[in-house]
Structure 1
Amino acid sequence: MPCAEHGSPCVNSLYDWRMDTAANLVLVGPMGAGKSSIGKRLAQALSLEFVDADRVLEARTGASVADIFVCEGEAGFRRRESALLQELLAGQGQLIATGGGVVLSDANRALLSRDAFVVHLDVSVTEQLRRLARDRTRPLLQRDDREEVLHVMATDRAPLYAEVADLHLDTDGCTPDQACRMLLPCIQNAWRGVAA
């Protein structure tokens, strides 16, 4: 379905419409949903610092996310991810794009619910496969059964994203610019962050 036919994310809000005063805006969602590409545009439009959590981890460790998975396993990566999330949410004025698995931790979900205005960017498995067809950097997709893995992750993680989300947008068929235009008025109406 073309993006223009999507409902407004305001309609898909999980939020009770009181003004949220969280110091940071956080994007959650599955890989390929557009957290980085949409996040950069939203951050610019909202005068926020854009922070890609995975890129910060890579810069600090000198290793790619895939290499961290190989050396430390998924559990080691998740520990680093949780520590970084806690550190970032102690700051303010940031739009933080998280990794797709950040919601797997109970502690991370509690932090996100308490300390951030959270936008869930969603995407269908079909669209994920299209967007990630040439991507060989995702450690959880370094296998032949990518579609099955994505379906399992979608089933397991969807309720966790919903648990922390203040707004929800399905990005299927959306360009990053279209998604940004759809989200901006909703964020501006519901979030009174430091940039507001």
Structure 2
Amino acid sequence: MGVGKSTVGRRLANRMRLPFVDADTAIEQAAGMTVAEIFARFGEPYFRDGERRVIQRLMDGTPKVIATGGGAFINDETRALILAEATAIWLRAHPDVLAERVGRRDTRPLLRGKDPRKVLAELAAIRNPIYAEAHIHITSNAAPHETTVNAILKAIGHGRHAA
């Protein structure tokens, strides 16, 4: 949350000349409501099930860059699918950096009415060992997004082919 998955993903796709899909946007289109509305109305387990089905549908064998929500990779089925069928990239950042970024908008269901730094630190403690299963680990810091995109391209061996 707040690491720049959508922005970096969109720029990465552009550099690789591939389509980009934000899984949260695809979920919102399929449900006809926002992620926050789905959480509020049906709860997180319902959202995660829909998220898993949408990601499975997106992973149709056609090369593309998919940005998933922070909780998607925590789901055992979703994670197994991603690890088997794709190159999983973990964009990681310190909780303080993330809290500063997400503090700009109140659209994060898991943060509503809570201290972002505390929640993000707790999420990191639980999720980071699972995120560590990703094929590639990239640190996202205060540098421009292009720095992160370049690091990903280098890690996946496409650096010299990128425009």
TM-score range, shorter chain: over 0.9
Deviates more, 1:78-87 or 1:179-188: 179-188
| Structure 2 partner of 1:170 | 139
RCO higher in structure (CA 8 A, sep ≥6)? 1
Work out whether residues 103 and 116 of structure 2, in 8 Å CA contact, stay in contact via their aligned partners in 1: no
Instruction: Answer 1 or 2: which has greater helix percent.
Output: 2
Q: State the alpha-carbon separation in 2 of the partners of residues 125 and 131 from structure 1.
A: 10
2:57, 2:119 → 1: CA distance?
Answer: 30
Alpha-carbon distance between aligned partners in 1 of 2:158 and 2:104, rounded to the nearest angstrom? 37
Q: Kindly tell me the number of residue pairs found equivalent between the two proteins.
A: 159
Is 1:102 matched up with 2:72? Answer: yes
Structure 1 residue 37 displacement after superposition: 0.6
Point out where structure 2 has 5 or more consecutive residues left out of the alignment: none
Q: Once the two structures are superposed, what CA deviation does each residue of 1:141-186 show, in whole Å capped at 9, x if it has no partner?
A: 00232221111100100011111x1111110122111111222122
CA–CA distance in structure 1, aligned partners of residues 154 and 119 of structure 2: 34
1:120 aligns with 2:82: no
The CA deviation at 1:189 is: 5.1
SS of residue paired to 1:60:
helix
Give 1:152's aligned residue. 122
Q: For 2:77 and 2:18, locate their aligned partners in 1 and report how far apart those are by CA, in whole Å.
A: 25
For the pair 1:34 / 2:4, whether they are aligned, the reply is yes
Per-residue CA deviations over 1:14-49 (Å, capped at 9, x if unaligned) read xxxxxxxxxxxxxxxxx1111111111100111110
Distance 1:185 1:125 in 2: 25
- The alignment's TM-score, normalised by the length of structure 1, stands at 0.77
**CA displacement 1:67-123 (0-9 Å, x = unmatched):** 000111001100100101111112311100000001221111111111111111001
Unaligned ranges ≥5, structure 1 = 1-30, 191-196
Q: Name the SS of the counterpart of 1:140 in structure 2.
A: helix
TM-score by structure 2 length? 0.92
Could you tell me how far apart the structure 2 residues matched to 1:121 and 1:156 are? 16
* Aligned with residue 62 of structure 1, among 32, 38, 50: 32
1:64 alignment partner AA: T
Given the alignment, which residue of 149, 152, 156 partners 1:183?
152
Letter in 1 for 2:11: R
- 1:128 maps to amino acid: L
